[in-house]
Amino acid sequence: MPYHKSIEYQTKLDDIAKKVCEEIIEWAELHGGIMPRTTIYNEGRILKIEEMSEKEKEEVRLAKKFRSNNKAQRMYSYINMPNEKVPDKYKELVNNLKSHISLKKTAYEEIVEWLQEHNSQMPKSAIKRNGKKLTLEEMTSEEQNEVNLRQRWNRSKEKQVFQDYYETPIENVPECYKEMIKTLKSYGVGKTPYEEILEWLETHNGKMPRGYIRLDGKRLSIEEVTDEQAREMSLYQKWKASKEGYIFKKYKYSSIEEVPEEYREKIRRIKELIKLGKSKDEEIKSRMRQAVGRQIGKNNETRESLRKKQEHLYGNRDARS
């Protein structure tokens, strides 16, 4: 290829790469500095292209377009270099990238910032409104950023490291990970529903979290509750769905000896905290309510059984007549 044509060809490649980078800047500006994703997750599952919304398809197309352009990748790599080492012809573009892209921070750094700003609550992996899970198009930009951060954290190496060493005594954790593990634990990240319910009972006088909130006899919707009440309801659902929660419900009124041995100590501790949180009078009233509830349930079953027998008996007589 003649020399002048070679320069012209390289210039054309540069122009294409710059255009791709400008599209990335525009995307980041609209999405809180987050880069577009090449893979879209929904509840831990990778979506097929036909399952994506139009906005998600657009996001994936842009991400793949950027990843497949070597020149654009090289321009992007300059954002972590001192300004004096960036080629003059790329400096303006690179500075623009630096001012819009927040991916210079690790997923760990971003998740810690989030925990600091949101009362130690992890970002949500999905947003619901009026009981309906929102698509990306239905979310606000803040909600999109929250979901994107949670997905980024879920896919990160730091989360995998945290899971690997969560139960390891801190003195046995490699030195390079100690500070990260300690920091995340200090915010309560990684706690099991059992650990969370213990903390709740200890700080709420032995009262279990509520699954719904009432005000003046009216059951409040999720939009009407406070953030603290929403967290209470969320903990109730997590506990209810956990294995320990299922075992507790099954053996709540049984003697501790009847509980499977592997869960015995955990259930004993839960029962102790609930009992400690009640006065003697409250305990008696609670047992009376439970006994009445069980009797009502048995009476209803008996009535239903009699009704079915009568239907069967009189139904047969009608058929013979």
pLDDT tens column, 93-117: 988 888 887 655 678 888 988 888 8
The pLDDT of residue 1: 47
For the stretch 198-236, pLDDT in tens is 989 998 999 999 998 988 888 888 778 887 888 888 889
For the stretch 56-66, pLDDT in tens is 899 999 989 99
The whole-number average pLDDT for the span 244-264 is: 91
The pLDDT of residue 321: 47
Q: Which residues of 198-229 are buried (b: 16+ CB within 10 A; e: fewer)?
A: bebbeeeebebbeeebeeeeeeeeeeebeeeb
Share of the chain above pLDDT 90, in %: 17
First to last CA, the chain: 103
The whole-number average pLDDT for the span 150-154 is: 88
Chain-centre distance of CA 257, in angstroms? 36
3-state helix, strand, coil in the chain (%, to 5): 70, 5, 30
- Taking 60 as the threshold, does the pLDDT of residue 35 lie above it? yes
- Taking 50 as the threshold, does the pLDDT of residue 280 lie above it? no
The whole-number average pLDDT for the span 297-315 is: 72
Most confident range (mean pLDDT) of 98-102, 191-195, 312-316 is 191-195
Q: Using CA atoms, how far apart are residues 125 and 284, in angstroms rounded to an integer?
A: 42
Of 66-70, 158-162, 260-264, 317-321, the least confident: 317-321
Report the half-sphere exposure of 266 (CA within 13 A, side-chain side): 21
The whole-number average pLDDT for the span 230-259 is: 89
List Cα–Cα distances, 56 to 39, 51, 101, in angstroms: 9, 9, 19
Helices 227-241 and 193-203: angle between axes, nearest 10 degrees: 130
